[in-house]
Structure 1
Amino acid sequence: MSINRGMAKFRIALVQLLVSSSKSDNLKRACVMVKKAADQGARLVVLPECFNSPYGTKFFPEYAEKIPGESTQMLSEVAKENGIYLIGGSIPEDDSGKLYNTCGVFAPDGTMLLKHRKIHLFDIDVPGKIRFQESETLSPGSNFSVFETPYCKVGVGICYDMRFAELAQIYTQKGCQLLVYPGAFNMTTGPAHWELLQRARAVDNQVFVATTSPARDENASYIAWGHSSVVSPWGNVIAKADAEETIVYADIDLQYLAEVRQQIPIHFQKRHDLYGVKVAQE
């Protein structure tokens, strides 16, 4: 496995933001924390899912905006001012009357490289614990989202997207060495599956996995689990927050990724003759 342009290490920062009901306050605080992360050497900074508004189906229509719009314009400016790649968590997007849960990604010159619309909507019902139906207000996206950096290719999903192993596999087949999922698991699914899913996607694909959650607000209608994390291709959690507002840093070592893939060469050992289309047809 070759390492793009010889840059074997870079620093990632996860901004675990405490989200309030004030969009303007959320945007200002996010920009302050992004600058702080850049000052600490981060070349890629990640915001949480729904970072500019409270998370909930009743809030999505109220806080939704066009792209480009107020929030993405501010993200573009802060990426350019600090010369970083910025994965802008997600915001409720309004496009021709349809609402999406959308992540914008910005280059160091402020250009929006892509926007990822959450592919898999969070519609769950765990009796006695939590029921949530994103599809009551949101529409699903249908595009894969991969972008290039001088360090490696990065694949982007949002929260519930992480539960679908096929998406991570496709991103890895496209050459991604880092998968990033802004997310907001809750107090039921968070302790059960948040770290487990990250470690599974990392080990299955021998990639780094990074997740960024909002900080926990016990008074919110939807309480986020927190615990923004970075997991190595070996499945080790190499950086993790607790529940409070903070910034988590990790150094992404692509030489280490190459070594893991050499030691356990699953990418060369896949039995494509036995599974895939053939299995689906049977």
Structure 2
Amino acid sequence: MTTSSFTVGLLQMTSSTEPEENRAALEAGLRDLAARGAEFVMTPEMTGALDGNKARLRANARPEHADETLALARSLAAELGLWVLLGSQAVVVDDGPDSLLANRSFLIGADGGLRARYDKIHLFDVDLPSGERYRESASYRPGCEAVVAATPWGQLGFSICYDVRFPHLFRTLAQAGAQMIAVPAAFTRTTGEAHWHTLLRARAIETGCYILAPAQTGLHKDGRTTFGHSLVIAPWGEVLADAGEGPGGVIAQVDLSHVADARARIPALRHDRAYELVEVRES
């Protein structure tokens, strides 16, 4: 019998540049969250390796069929009877040493089968006031498909990190049937302190969806610092769980019946209207 209620676990990690280290942390985290009652576990963006060095990142990346972190996540999902969202991996999609990678998220069923995949659409090319500089487009090609996939409890929409700043993507997912939206992330501390909670709560309120956001945290081997605070947010905007700043896991109860309640109270998804932009210039 299907139910709209389940226990979600968000794994908060400090992924290094070494995939083997990260796989050990992934296995320990999935086992811990399963033992705590999680039925669906989500991991952060770049679970397998967080690395700003383009050459090293490319050398460690593998095609989807040969990705050892993905294989481990599938094996553990089947062993533990968990649904798993592997937040994202750097995946080889074209031949050649200079080819771009995909920043790809994977949905894995409790039998270990791959149910859906999503490539990050919006790439983080930013110069921050702190002096931090990021050029995702130097390593990754952008995705071009919004994705909604079925789970045993309801419809899941996909996004990754910087996508959260593009509300039209979240609205598209909700209007296509998503009741919950995953936001695996590696938010910088600078932008996280300023915007993380606000953006995620806004996306929940705008769409009437649960927002499930597993995050990277702390000081990483490549020198960057991420914000942490993996969040579970209800459709009315309440923060149900916040993992704080340390690595580990957090669990929360999700009841997708609250999605319909929130959307009935504020039916904004049904109120979109077509309009034209009129630009008034000085004469």
Indicate whether 1:42 and 2:38 are aligned.
yes
**Superposition deviation, residue 151 in structure 1:** 0.7
TM-score, normalised with respect to structure 2: 0.91
Alignment match of 1:19 (pick from 11, 15, 22) = 15
Q: Paired residue for 2:145?
A: 143
Q: Secondary structure at the match of 1:188?
A: helix
User: Residue 227 of structure 2 aligns to a residue in which SS?
Assistant: coil
**Residue 142 and residue 35 in structure 1: after superposition, are their counterparts in 2 closer, same or farther (change >3 A)?**
same
d(CA) in 1 for partners of 2:81 and 2:8?
13
Cα contact 1:17–1:51 (8 A) shared by 2: yes
Instruction: Choose from 40, 63, 66 the match for 2:63.
Output: 66
- Distance in 1 (alpha carbons) for counterparts of 2:81 and 2:122: 32
Q: Are positions 1:91 and 2:84 aligned together?
A: no
Stretch of structure 1 that moved more, 253-262 or 174-183? 253-262
Contact 1:46 1:212 in 2 (8 A): yes
| 1:31 and 2:33 matched | no
Which residue of 192, 195, 198 corresponds with 1:193?
195
SS in 1 for 2:226: coil
How far apart are the structure 2 equivalents of 1:64 and 1:219? 17
Match in the other structure for 2:159: 157
Q: CA deviation at 1:106?
A: 0.6
Percent of paired sites with the same residue: 31
- Given the superposition, is the C-alpha separation of residues 136 and 187 from structure 1 closer, same or farther in structure 2, using an over 3 Å criterion? same
Counterpart AA for 1:133: R
CA RMSD of aligned residues (A): 1.8
From the superposition, tell whether residues 261 and 6 of structure 1 become closer, same or farther in structure 2 (CA, over 3 Å).
Answer: farther
- 2:249 aligns to what SS in structure 1? strand
Equivalent residue, structure 2, for 1:254: 256
CA change 1:252–1:132 in 2 (3 A) is same
Q: In 2, are the aligned partners of 1:17 and 1:246 still within 8 Å (CA)? A: yes
Q: Distance in 2 between matches of 1:142 and 1:57?
A: 25
CA–CA distance in structure 1, aligned partners of residues 269 and 50 of structure 2: 40
Distance in 1 between the 2:188 and 2:272 partners? Answer: 37
The runs of 5 or more residues in structure 2 that have no matched partner are: none
How big is each residue's C-alpha offset from its partner over 1:6-32, in whole Å with a ceiling of 9 and x where there is no partner?
513111110001212321121122022
Moved more, 89-98 or 170-179: 89-98
Match of 1:129 in 2: 131
The one-letter code sitting in structure 1 at the alignment partner of 2:58 is P
3-state SS, counterpart of residue 176 of structure 1: coil
**Once the 2 structures are TM-superposed, how far is the Cα of residue 222 of structure 1 from its aligned partner?**
1.3
Q: Is the 8 A contact 1:57 1:137 kept in 2?
A: no
